């Protein structure tokens, strides 16, 4: 009795495991929680409905680092339990690239699967960040954002400033900040993700290098260049402003955004991906979104900003006949309508130019003014080797180092020059370690 | 003196030991061995391109370079000022957590041990914090001391103290110590209370009749008789401060600001799971394991001798 029950249970399980027409499952591990996760599930469902050979199975694996660690652990276990596609944040790019036996470069995947693929359809800095020096795409851009400038129009009006005129340069921002604080604002300006906005993007925006060898695109034996005149001036100015609350430090990552949302800070530099949340918190009409300010003494006109966010990497070691499904999914994701939907619902920048056109035609930018600024910043000028992107090994630790050194400036322990020099020394050591471990 | 039990067959004792041995090997020895192995290899994050660093020792056992290569990850750590900072910090942190936690718990236990109205209620309340997981304790303290919306941060600002543990490293360290002690006091309290209750009342009464005041009774009778409990708790608390406080640090400060609260166990996690530097992280684990083994041996060898059972 018992054995027959077991046998029938096993049989039932077998039937359940065998789809009607041998649809191949493609595992897709991602780090998009909440609303973003829902949108990812919708995209997968749409793709699954559009054809019947493959089924994308999206699995939420937690934060970016948790997702990456989970994929690495699954891959290292060599039990074929690793995903076909894993979403990796931009700072993990060098780690992924160095793992040569583990990744399947996207340009090769598309060529092997004979999927049509046109690099020119993509937005320059989005494509460039994830491609080799000779323009071959390594991972599929998915969610990308760039820092933009936000200001509180109500607080501007209260300080006697023109609520429709944001500062265009940093000295202007300083003057406005003083007036805002004088009018009772608790804080003039606060940035989000300070290393990304105030060091990495600051460099690209002013066409200054972050590291040697084209910001690391040209090789592994590189050194940081972040103790240059521009950054020393910028960080020291912020520290000086800190004494009068024109600048207030609100913590790492996105921790400062609640200060802007609560009306404590009048000016904010934050990811374009935060736009939807900020407009919701303060009301669309109260928030202005504009381009980041620049230092006229370092550049006459700003260059272009760089992105943050994540891409989809394809892992090796799955059955060969499943990879065409991955390629088809990527083609689907690059479609103008799909990208436009993703852009409008999440606030991330679209990866293709056609998605921008579609969004423009739909009147979305009129309804949500300022949401077009991110793309404008990214495409302001053709990217140079300083503004294409960053390819930095051990980048997570290097960001931690920069955070730590910046915090020592904000707390008055070091001046900007000392802190940035120390960040370079500490960062270079991490770069050396990375080069040694990955050669 | 000791009772001896002999088994008829040689197999039975091994069989009886097997489940425990299995658990120890699978969940302790095997991962530890993996960590030790990992700290002597060089490879990329996905485990490709693996090189065993000590293979050069076979060919040249006396060569300085071969040794240096073999201990590359350890060399890298020990020449990193950040690691030494973390080590010193851990020392201060665990000493403070253990002494403050034990002293306060002892004080509370002595107070609650007296016959007073509502003693059971006090005891229950004092035991409660132990039911709170460290990560949750971290979130709770993070809320109360949040520089913008925290109740206690607001009260402190009323006293003229500008509280912002997101910028001020010293404040962050005190906050983590406070949360860690609060979380552990209940555990210490239960043990101290049980220890106190097992001291024969007749001894204390006799001392009282002989004219010893409460202070003298405590130091000459109660404290020595409590020492086995105290010793046990010291070991447990040091290990707690080394490892168990991870959740509190992660929820409260993530090791920041700067590296102000980056204790060794947090650095292991940060370098390994945030930075994907698995070998460096494994080397840190190996060192940490050595430290705790050494500490425990020292505690049992030297301090235990002074303990009266």
Distance from A421 to chain B by nearest Cα, in Å?
16
Q: What's the pLDDT tens digit per position in A343-354?
A: 888 888 888 888
Task: Tell me, yes or no, whether B6 lies in a domain.
Answer: no
Residues of B in contact with A403 (CB under 8 A): 256
Closest residue of B to A315, CA-based?
A: B46
DSSP codes joined into one string, A265-311: EEEEEEEGGGHHHHHHHH-GGGEEEEPPPB-TTT-SS------EEEE
The verdict on a CB contact (< 8 Å) between A408 and B258 is: yes
**Does the beta-carbon distance from B45 to A411 stay under 8 Å?**
no
pLDDT at A16 over 70: no
Nearest-angstrom CA–CA distance, B165 and A89: 28
> According to the model, what pLDDT value does residue A327 have?
94
The residue among B73, B92, B114 that closes a domain is B73
What's the pLDDT band for A1 if we cut at 50, 70, 90? Answer: very low
Query: Cβ of A98 and B258 within 8 Å?
Result: no
Instruction: Kindly state whether residues B30 and B79 are assigned to the same domain.
Output: no
| pLDDT given for residue A439 in this prediction | 67
pLDDT at B147 over 70: yes
B37-47 per-position pLDDT tens digit: 999 988 878 87
**Among B148, B169, B275, beta carbon nearest to A396:** B275
User: Are the C-beta atoms of A365 and A371 separated by less than 8 Å?
Assistant: yes
Q: Does A101 touch chain B (CB under 8 A)?
A: yes
Give the tens place of pLDDT for each residue, A20-54.
Answer: 557 899 999 999 887 788 889 999 999 999 999 99
Decide: A169 and A294 in contact? Cβ < 8 Å. Answer: yes
- Where is pLDDT greater, at A103 or B54? A103
Q: Do A101 and B280 touch (CB under 8 A)?
A: no
pLDDT at B47: 79
Residues B116, B166: one domain?
yes
pLDDT digits (tens, 9 = 90+) for A111-136: 999 998 888 888 888 888 888 878 88
Which of A92, A397, A436 is facing B271, going by the closest CB pair?
Answer: A397
Instruction: Count structural domains, chain B.
Output: 2
Final residue before a domain boundary, out of B19, B53, B73: B73
The confidence band for B309, taking pLDDT boundaries of 50, 70 and 90, is low
Please write the tens of the pLDDT for every residue from B4-60: 777 778 888 889 999 999 999 999 999 999 999 999 988 878 877 788 888 877 777
Q: What is the DSSP annotation of A1-47?
A: -HHHHHHHHHHHHHHHHS-TT-PEEEEEEE---HHHHHHHHHHHHHH
Least Cα separation, residue A392 to chain B (angstroms): 12
Q: Are residues B150 and B202 in the same domain?
A: yes
Q: Are residues B294 and B269 in the same domain?
A: yes
Residue B122 pLDDT: 81
Instruction: Judge: A411–B257 Cβ closer than 8 Å, yes or no.
Output: yes
Q: Does residue B41 sit in the same domain as residue B117?
A: no
pTM: 0.79
Q: Which candidate in B34, B45, B49, B271 is best for mutational testing of the A interface (most A CBs within 10 A)?
A: B45
A407 in contact with B at a CB cutoff of 8 Å?
yes
Which helix (H) or strand (E) segment holds residue A314: the answer is: strand A308-314
B chain contacts of residue A251, beta-carbon cutoff 8 Å: 166
Q: Are A413 and A368 in contact (CB under 8 A)?
A: no
B5 in any annotated domain: no
Disruptive mutation site among A427, A437, A438, A439 for chain B (greatest number of B CBs within 10 Å): A437
B144 and B270 inside one domain: yes
Question: For the residues A175-182, what does the mean pLDDT come to?
Answer: 96
pLDDT tens per residue across span B263-277 = 999 999 988 888 888
**Would you state the pLDDT for residue A33?**
82
Q: How far apart are CA A190 and CA B5, in angstroms?
A: 73
- Residue among A75, A394, A437 whose CB faces B46 most closely: A75
What is the extent of the structural domain holding B23? Answer: 11-73
- Does the pLDDT value for residue A13 go beyond 60? no
Q: Are residues B60 and B159 in the same domain?
A: no
For residue B26, the distance in angstroms to the closest alpha carbon of chain A comes to 16
Last residue of a domain, one of B47, B73, B99: B73
Could you say which of B46, B169, B254 has the minimum Cβ distance to residue A72?
B46
Q: State the helix-helix crossing angle for A336-346 and A353-361, rounded to 10 degrees.
A: 70
Paired tokens of A319: 């059955």
Q: CB contacts < 8 Å between A and B, how many?
A: 84
Distances in Å between the alpha carbon of B23 and those of B2, B19, B229? 28, 6, 28
| pLDDT class of A402 with cuts at 50, 70, 90 | very high
Nearest to A407 among B42, B44, B167 (CB): B167
Whether A59 has a pLDDT exceeding 90, the answer reads: yes
Q: In this model, does residue A19 exceed pLDDT 70?
A: no
CATH of A21-145+307-367, one of 3.40.190.10, 1.20.1630.10, 3.30.70.100, 3.40.30.10: 3.40.190.10
CATH architecture of A147-305+394-437: 3-Layer(aba) Sandwich (3.40)
Query: Could you tell me which chain A residue has the CA closest to the CA of B51?
Result: A437
How sure is the predictor about A280, in pLDDT bands with cuts at 50, 70 and 90? Answer: confident
pLDDT computed for residue B104 by the predictor:
93
The confidence score (pLDDT) of residue A4 equals 55
Minimal CA separation from B67 to chain A, in Å: 17
State how far Cα B275 lies from the chain centre: 24
Nearest alpha-carbon partner for A380 in A290, A269, A273, A305:
A305
Select the more confidently predicted residue: A152 or A97: A152
Strand partners, A268: A150, A190
- Within chain A, all domains assigned CATH 3.40.190.10 are found at 21-145+307-367, 147-305+394-437
What pLDDT, on a 0 to 100 scale, did the predictor assign at position A245? 93
Whether B94 and B236 share a structural domain: yes
The distance from CA A352 to its chain's CA centroid, rounded to whole angstroms, is 16
What is residue B305's predicted lDDT score, i.e. its pLDDT? 67
Task: State whether residue A410 sits within 8 Å of chain B by CB.
Answer: yes
The predicted-structure confidence for A194-212, as pLDDT tens digits, reads as follows 999 999 999 999 999 999 9
Say yes or no: B60 and B92 in one domain. no
Dump pLDDT digits (tens) for B168-205.
888 999 999 999 999 999 999 999 988 888 888 888 88
Whether B40 and B109 map to the same domain: the answer is no
Percent of chain B past pLDDT 70, that is, above it, reads 95
CATH number of the domain within which B166 lies: 1.10.3720.10
Which of B82, B167, B274 has the CB atom closest to A396's CB atom? B274
Band the pLDDT of A10: cuts 50, 70, 90: low
Please write the tens of the pLDDT for every residue from B207-233: 888 888 888 888 888 888 888 888 889
In a domain, B101, yes or no: yes
pLDDT tens string A386-398: 998 899 988 988 9
Give me the DSSP letters along A322-361. GHHHHHHHHHHHHSHHHHHHHHHHH-PBPSBHHHHHHHHH
Closest residue in A to B73 (Cα) is: A433
Whether A8 has a pLDDT exceeding 60, the answer reads no
Q: Are A314 and A320 in contact (CB under 8 A)?
A: no
Each residue's pLDDT tens digit, A207-261: 999 999 999 988 889 999 999 999 999 999 999 999 999 999 988 888 899 899 9
DSSP lists the bridge partners of residue A308 as A145
At residue B197, the pLDDT reads 87
| Interchain contact A100–B (C-beta under 8 A) | yes
Long-range CB pairs of B87-95, under 8 A, 24+ apart, other chains included: B87/B264, B89/B173, B89/B259, B89/B260, B89/B261, B89/B262, B89/B263, B90/B241, B90/B242, B90/B263, B90/B264, B90/B265, B93/B173, B93/B176, B93/B177, B93/B241, B93/B245, B93/B263, B94/B238, B94/B241, B94/B242
For chain B, which residues lie within 8 Å of any Cβ of chain A, measuring from their own Cβ? 42-49, 76, 80, 82, 148, 166-169, 254, 256-259, 270-271, 273-277, 279-280
Q: Would an 8 Å CB–CB cutoff place A436 in contact with chain B?
A: yes
Q: Which of A65, A98, A101 sits opposite B273 (nearest CB)?
A: A65
- Confidence label for A268 from pLDDT (cuts 50, 70 and 90): very high
Nearest CA of chain B to the CA of A84: how many Å?
A: 14
Question: In this predicted structure, what is the pLDDT of residue A125?
Answer: 82
In a domain, B114, yes or no: yes
Average pLDDT over residues A292-314: 94
- B299 pLDDT above the threshold of 50: yes
Average pLDDT over residues B70-75: 88
Q: What is the pLDDT of residue B55?
A: 81
B287 pLDDT exceeds 50? yes
Judge if B189 and B282 occupy the same domain: yes
B152 and B258 fall within a common domain: yes
Range ranked top by mean pLDDT from A8-17, A291-300, A373-382, A395-404: A291-300
Phi, psi of A217 (to 5 degrees): -70, -25
């Amino acid at each position: 009795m018992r054995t027959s029950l077991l046998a029938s249970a096993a049989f039932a399980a077998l039937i359940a495991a065998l789809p009607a027409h041998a649809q191949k499952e493609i595992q897709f591990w991602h780090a998009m929680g909440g609303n973003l996760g829902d949108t990812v599930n919708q995209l997968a469902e749409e793709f699954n409905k559009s054809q019947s050979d493959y089924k994308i199975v999206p699995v939420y694996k937690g934060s970016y680092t948790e997702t990456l660690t989970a994929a690495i652990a699954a891959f290292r276990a060599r039990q074929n339990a690793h995903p076909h596609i894993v979403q990796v944040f931009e700072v993990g790019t060098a780690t992924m690239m160095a793992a040569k036996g583990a990744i399947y470069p996207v340009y090769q995947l598309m060529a092997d699967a004979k999927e049509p693929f046109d690099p020119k359809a993509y937005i320059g800095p989005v494509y460039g960040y994830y491609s080799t020096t000779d323009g071959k795409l390594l991972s599929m851009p998915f969610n990308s954002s760039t820092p933009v400038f936000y200001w509180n129009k109500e607080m501007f009006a209260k300080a006697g400033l023109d609520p429709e005129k944001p500062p265009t340069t940093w000295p202007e921002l300083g003057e406005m900040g003083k007036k805002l604080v004088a009018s009772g604002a608790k804080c003039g300006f606060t940035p989000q993700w300070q290393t990304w906005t105030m060091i990495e993007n600051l460099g690209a925006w002013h066409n200054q290098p972050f590291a040697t060898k084209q910001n690391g695109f040209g090789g592994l034996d590189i050194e940081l260049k972040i103790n240059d005149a521009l950054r020393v001036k910028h960080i020291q100015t912020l520290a000086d402003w800190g004494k009068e609350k024109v600048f207030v430090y609100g913590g790492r990552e996105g921790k400062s955004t609640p200060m802007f949302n609560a009306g404590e800070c009048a000016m904010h530099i934050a990811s374009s991906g935060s736009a939807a949340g900020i407009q919701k918190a303060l009301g669309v009409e109260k928030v202005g979104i504009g381009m980041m300010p620049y230092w006229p003494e370092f550049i006459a006109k700003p260059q272009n900003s760089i992105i943050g966010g994540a891409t989809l990497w394809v892992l090796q070691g799955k059955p060969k006949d499943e990879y065409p499904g991955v390629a088809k999914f990527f083609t689907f994701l690059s479609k103008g309508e799909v990208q436009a939907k993703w852009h409008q619902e999440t606030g991330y920048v679209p990866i293709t130019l056609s998605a921008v056109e579609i969004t423009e035609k739909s009147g979305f930018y009129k309804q949500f003014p300022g949401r077009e600024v991110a793309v404008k910043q990214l495409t302001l000028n053709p990217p140079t080797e300083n503004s294409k992107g960053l390819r930095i090994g051990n980048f997570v630790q290097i960001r931690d180092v920069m955070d730590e050194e910046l915090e020592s400036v904000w707390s008055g322990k070091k001046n900007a020059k000392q802190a940035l020099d120390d960040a370079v020394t500490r960062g270079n050591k991490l770069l050396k370690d990375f080069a040694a471990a990955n050669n | 003196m000791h009772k001896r039990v002999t088994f008829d067959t040689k197999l039975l004792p091994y069989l009886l030991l097997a489940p425990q041995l299995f658990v120890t090997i699978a969940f302790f020895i095997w991962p530890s061995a993996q960590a030790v192995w990992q700290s002597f290899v060089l490879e990329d994050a996905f485990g490709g391109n693996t090189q065993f660093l000590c293979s050069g020792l076979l060919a040249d056992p006396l060569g300085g370079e071969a040794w240096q290569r073999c201990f590359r990850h350890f060399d890298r750590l020990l020449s990193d000022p950040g690691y030494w900072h973390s080590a010193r910090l851990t020392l201060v942190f665990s000493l403070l957590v253990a002494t403050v936690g034990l002293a306060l718990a002892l004080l509370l236990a002595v107070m609650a041990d007296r016959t007073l109205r509502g003693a059971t209620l006090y005891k229950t309340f004092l035991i409660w914090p132990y039911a709170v997981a460290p990560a949750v304790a971290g979130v709770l303290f993070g809320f109360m001391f949040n520089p913008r919306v925290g109740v206690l941060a607001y009260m402190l600002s009323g006293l003229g103290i500008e509280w912002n543990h997101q910028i001020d490293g010293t404040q962050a360290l005190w906050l983590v110590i406070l949360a860690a002690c609060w979380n552990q006091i209940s555990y210490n309290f239960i043990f101290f209370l049980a220890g106190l209750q097992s001291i024969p009342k007749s001894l204390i009464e006799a001392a009282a009749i002989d004219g010893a005041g409460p202070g003298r009774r405590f130091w000459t009778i109660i404290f020595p008789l409590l020492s086995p409990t105290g010793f046990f708790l010291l070991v447990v608390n040091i290990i707690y401060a080394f490892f168990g406080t991870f959740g509190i640090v992660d929820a409260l400060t993530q090791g920041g600001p700067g590296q102000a609260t980056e204790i060794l166990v947090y650095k292991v996690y940060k370098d390994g799971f945030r930075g994907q530097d698995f070998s460096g992280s494994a080397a840190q684990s190996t060192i940490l394991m050595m430290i705790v083994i050494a500490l425990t041996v020292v505690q049992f060898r030297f301090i235990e001798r002074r303990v009266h059972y």
